[in-house]
Structure 1
Amino acid sequence: MKWKKTAAYAITAVLMAGMLAGCMSKGSGSAAAPKVTLKDGKYDPVLTITTAKQLDENAGKYLNGESLNDNVMTRWGVEKLGIKIETTLLGGDAGNYNTKLRLALTGSEKLPDLIPVYDTSLASDLIQSGQVKDITEDIKNFMPDRLKEIYKQYPTTFNPVIQDGKVYGMAISPNLTEGEVMLIRQDWLDKLNLKAPTTIDEFEKVIAAFTNNDPDGNEKKDTYGFDFSGKDSYNTGWVSDPVMIFSAYTGKSLPGQWYNDNGKLTYGSVAEGNKEALAKLRDWYSKGYLNKELATQGAWDALADFTEGKAGIIIGRPWLYGSVKDVEKNIPGAKIAAYPTIKGVKEAKTYQSGQLNDGVFMFNKDFNNMEAFFLYYDKLYDAAFGTGDFKYGFAKGYDYDIVNGKVVFDPSHFNQPLQNAPSPSKMLFTKNAPTVSEAGKTFYDLANGAKPDTGPLMSAAAADQTTKDGYVISYENRDVLLPNAFNGPPTKTMQSSWEQLSTMEKETFTKIIYSKEPLEAYDDYVKQWHEKGGTQITEEVNGWYQKANETDVMSSMGLK
């Protein structure tokens, strides 16, 4: 899930009153927990840390007999560290999860000890409520040196949780994510004697052929070229992403995010070039080159057409291949290949959103076991370093096995073969496995002759070849990744106007693409965006940016 601002900035008076009531009446219960001692790296008696969890499309899968609070990873924590992780607040998608956290703020539910937050507005509300802990000294006193070295590299990830020089949270597993690649039906390219596109004109030629020239050979006009999602934004940042087309015309100014243009932050959706990108998408949509339901399909839903063999190109992070490769099993002769994204019209490259972290950890104000949290969290990083209990992966028989003395990563070849092996990383409170090396570097090193002699390298070596290719491409083009320059709490005007502006943006872009509004509607949108708060928000965002660069909280946390 992408860590970015949402439109839910307006908070009602009722909610605020509930927040205050919850602040006075609710705690995590940790203060009343029995006294525990840490001996030889393990707590006695067992210490419980409660947490919240947002399930995503790959979470919630367990072997028979396991469950959310009783699985291979929760048992590991109890057996090895004397720490029990118990999920007491569970949400489904992002909206459902945020709603449950907001209800907990009102006092109708209990906030757990550990609170993963994926929304900057909600993080700000938690700080304002007084129900979360200032962890400035905890980081200084309890964060292990290995983690300190990691967090030193990503100082801007603290921006959403800093107020008045105090730190109320920390990034979840900070690291620059992998970039996106084009996944293309190679068999369609071959059948139509086409090469993978490298420019916008070549891209148009390919998707036109995929739509009109019967690439699947069934003598029906039932295929199209480019599959993407426009439901939530035109910059998903992970899968089913159309941002490449916008960047082809706007360069580094990407829809839905802020760009540092020589020290001044500007909003990408009102930048020069968007109108040309919309005109191109409008033309393609009218010709049937795009998925007809793009405005109603979420990023994950939009994969279906590609997986079912209806679409020829989809864009996403390299691991996307694992989610769409069933098309190769279901359709004889189908073959997917990974390629770099196309070049821009004016720039030598097209750019993408770079994600430095997926949300932040925040902590109940009554939670008094930060040392235990850091012990547990640090141990999870052993999988990234290929050390300790997680030398080859998190759990034998889940993400790896040892068969006849050899480490095996294909679950179908385990001692007890599995068709759909549950992912231990999805059972963690981090939601995804922490990483440390530059995204894709293990694959790049293997492609350049490195021996697979560590857990991370072994795991990479066991991946599908298309996945390997994608990660190498991603690593080689990592300079196209642009983290959002604004990742602070919503500004004053954002709180009252951003939801309206975001709705207007999405509706205008979609109506233009669908030809329900003339192309000139974009000019009117830009004018209204500025008049209805955009100009003031830009000033506020730049004021925040200047202050953020002048504020030094890293020293107070011992991270300098």
Structure 2
Amino acid sequence: MSYPLSQGGLAVKKIGMLLASVLIMGTALAGCGSDGNSNSGSAGSGSTGGSPAASGSAAKDDHSKKLSLTMMVSTAAGGGWTDDHPMVKYLNDKFNVDLKFQWVPGDSYNEKLNVLAASNDFPDVFQIWDASTYSKWMKKGVFLDLKPILSDYPNIVNNVTDEALAMMNPKDKVYGLPMYAPAFRSNLSIRQDWLDKLGLKTPETVDEFYQVAKAFTTEDPDGNGKQDTIGFSMSISTAGEIIGIDYLKGAFGLANAWKLEDGKLVPQQTQTEEWKALATYLRQAYADGVLDKDFAVNKERDPWNKLEGNTNGIAEVNPNEVYKQSLPVLQKLAPEADIVQLAPPAGPTGIRAANTITSTTKIVLNAKLSEEKQQRILEIIDYMFSDEGYLWSKNGIEGIHYEKNGDTYEKLDAFDSDRPQILSTWFIRRFDPSIQIRLWDEQEYADKVMAWFENTEPYRWTNPAAGLISETYSKSGIQLDQKFTAAIVKVITGSEPVESIDAASKAWLAGGGDKIIEETNALYAELN
């Protein structure tokens, strides 16, 4: 069904109460959700920051000594802060540090890491985006084991799930803190105004989905007298994966990369019957023009761009961007347009599955750090997970980036120019899908955004092998996946028969897939 986004469920109630408490108390709590797996405390349980009491034989850091710290962060558009940025100065003053950020563009981040590895000269704290690199360097002793000291930092412990903390780490070891990403960052959406104009009901099954998508293609939903719209779209990633249709992959029984069967991990490349069923469906959609004819050359965001461009009727979108970007952009072209959430359609056996992300990015500390540097860095991170620090990392500094007017908050121009939120966006943050909701956002808006995350929870489609990267996969896995996906694309476009998927699966296994399965299962056994 499509969801009335003004309603919210549990997550909406949580954030509603929290934002209400901000207005009543004046000190601000902006979010208290989780990603649905939390079993180690709620996001609202943090303290107001400051130094924890040290345990064991470690002396408590009293901040009397100024420490020089280096932090390397992968950046996106706009780059990072200058050394004299208000947010940097705030941390320097609060923790008596001289914090030097190394802002590295995302497309060259791994290259930078390899240069540092060659000289064995790592920053004090940095990110590891690549799971295979994390595993390899962890075994070489590059990272500090945080397990013995983590209990001294309650805001971290109470706002990171046990599952995420354990993922990719050996038993009883924590070599890296997880960087949270909302599990349902990409949610299925549909043009409600197109449904209404064509007199269609919200699709509940893959068959109904097909009929609606076909009507979007053939019945002129934009009213311009031309057949220039599409039902749905998808794209091919550079890593050799069909993306943008996880809701259909799951509906036809495919695993989210891997599935656990009788205690063994099984890759989706061996699920030939499920692939043939999905490919048959997509082949017909392509032939009928229901599926975007340009899917094979689309860039990752193109299906979403085409939704915003008034040509695509169904697409995965980010709830945090629907009301502030997608809908305003679309309504410039079609003023009456309306984008609503769509539940994943049920497949032939009743399965419904949503795009589900498991972040494998880790925040690590250099194993060579002195004890006082270890404490000071973890105090800074712990502060960012506290109630006070969480507000600071999301909204910036009161009086500079926003101001409080009675019971309301007003964003100041410096928020847009300073971008004080980028550390929470690019580095580390609480396990809370409301990370992009600001103090000045209206309650109605917050409720609508949070409803998307809450409504998708029943369709969680997990990958039990997330973060397990075998040696063979590191060497040749992407090339194998690209060849396998190329074979699927040929079936969808009609240049090869559906039965050719059997041969593609065998080629994947023979080319190294068998070894990937063996090694991935060994890694799984080692960490579980």
Alignment match, 2:376: 372
Query: Is the 1:144–1:374 contact (alpha carbons within 8 Å) kept by the matching residues of 2?
Result: yes
Alignment match, 1:31: none
1:81 aligns with 2:81: no
Give the Cα separation in 2 of the matches to 1:373 and 1:228.
42
Structure 1 residue 331, shift from structure 2 partner: 2.8
1:377-428 C-alpha deviation (Å, 9 max, x unpaired): 111123xx467864984433787542x32323xxxx645597x576433234
Structure 1 residue 138, shift from structure 2 partner: 4.1
Give the Cα separation in 1 of the matches to 2:75 and 2:179.
15
Greater RCO (CA < 8 Å, at least 6 residues apart): 2
| 3-state DSSP of counterpart to 1:424 | coil
Give the Cα separation in 1 of the matches to 2:204 and 2:64.
57
| 3-state DSSP of counterpart to 1:314 | strand
**TM-score scaled by structure 1?**
0.73
Alignment match, 1:172: 179
1:201-223 C-alpha deviation (Å, 9 max, x unpaired): 11111211111111111112221
| 3-state DSSP of counterpart to 2:426 | coil
2:118 paired residue among 72, 94, 106: 106
Structure 1 residue 277, shift from structure 2 partner: 0.9
Alignment match, 1:276: 277
Task: Indicate the RMSD between aligned Cα atoms, in angstroms.
Answer: 3.4
Alignment match, 2:127: 116
Give the Cα separation in 2 of the matches to 1:179 and 1:531.
35
| 3-state DSSP of counterpart to 1:245 | helix
Query: Is the 1:158–1:170 contact (alpha carbons within 8 Å) kept by the matching residues of 2?
Result: no
Give the Cα separation in 2 of the matches to 1:328 and 1:479.
31
Give the Cα separation in 1 of the matches to 2:490 and 2:237.
12
2:340 paired residue among 331, 334, 337: 337
1:187 aligns with 2:166: no
Indicate how the Cα distance of structure 1 residues 391 and 489 shifts in structure 2: closer, same or farther if over 3 A, else same: closer
Query: Is the 1:206–1:225 contact (alpha carbons within 8 Å) kept by the matching residues of 2?
Result: yes
Unaligned runs of 5+ residues in structure 1 are 1-35, 62-66, 443-454, 550-560
Alignment match, 1:10: none
Alignment match, 1:298: 299
Structure 1 residue 103, shift from structure 2 partner: 2.5
Alignment match, 2:76: 56
| 3-state DSSP of counterpart to 1:250 | coil
Structure 1 residue 250, shift from structure 2 partner: 1.0
| 3-state DSSP of counterpart to 1:220 | coil
Give the Cα separation in 2 of the matches to 1:416 and 1:400.
8
Give the Cα separation in 2 of the matches to 1:207 and 1:458.
39
**TM-score scaled by structure 2?**
0.77
Percent identity reads 23
Give the Cα separation in 2 of the matches to 1:516 and 1:104.
47
| 3-state DSSP of counterpart to 2:227 | coil
1:409-462 C-alpha deviation (Å, 9 max, x unpaired): xxxx645597x576433234x61662345x47x9xxxxxxxxxxxx97966754
Give the Cα separation in 2 of the matches to 1:421 and 1:347.
48
Structure 1 residue 84, shift from structure 2 partner: 4.1
1:431 aligns with 2:426: yes
1:155-554 aligned at under 5 Å gives the runs 155=163, 157-162=165-170, 167-173=174-180, 177-178=183-184, 180-232=186-238, 241-250=244-253, 253-254=255-256, 257-271=257-271, 272-321=273-322, 322-325=324-327, 326-355=329-358, 357-368=359-370, 369-382=373-386, 385=387, 390=392, 393-396=395-398, 400-402=402-404, 404-408=405-409, 414=411, 416=413, 423-428=419-424, 431=426, 434-436=429-431, 439=433, 461-462=442-443, 464=445, 468-469=447-448, 471-549=450-528
Paired letter, 1:82: N
Give the Cα separation in 1 of the matches to 2:116 and 2:393.
38
Unaligned runs of 5+ residues in structure 2 are 1-58
Paired letter, 1:104: L
Paired letter, 2:479: Q
Alignment match, 2:48: none
Query: Is the 1:226–1:311 contact (alpha carbons within 8 Å) kept by the matching residues of 2?
Result: yes
Give the Cα separation in 2 of the matches to 1:273 and 1:289.
21
Indicate how the Cα distance of structure 1 residues 185 and 488 shifts in structure 2: closer, same or farther if over 3 A, else same: closer
Query: Is the 2:383–2:389 contact (alpha carbons within 8 Å) kept by the matching residues of 1?
Result: no
Indicate how the Cα distance of structure 1 residues 528 and 387 shifts in structure 2: closer, same or farther if over 3 A, else same: closer
Alignment match, 1:557: none
Paired letter, 2:166: F
Indicate how the Cα distance of structure 1 residues 53 and 417 shifts in structure 2: closer, same or farther if over 3 A, else same: closer
Give the Cα separation in 1 of the matches to 2:449 and 2:233.
18
Higher helix share: 2
Matched residues, number: 465
Paired letter, 1:396: E
Indicate how the Cα distance of structure 1 residues 535 and 181 shifts in structure 2: closer, same or farther if over 3 A, else same: same
Indicate how the Cα distance of structure 1 residues 79 and 372 shifts in structure 2: closer, same or farther if over 3 A, else same: same
Query: Is the 2:354–2:456 contact (alpha carbons within 8 Å) kept by the matching residues of 1?
Result: no
Structure 1 residue 244, shift from structure 2 partner: 0.7
Give the Cα separation in 2 of the matches to 1:44 and 1:297.
54
| 3-state DSSP of counterpart to 1:476 | helix
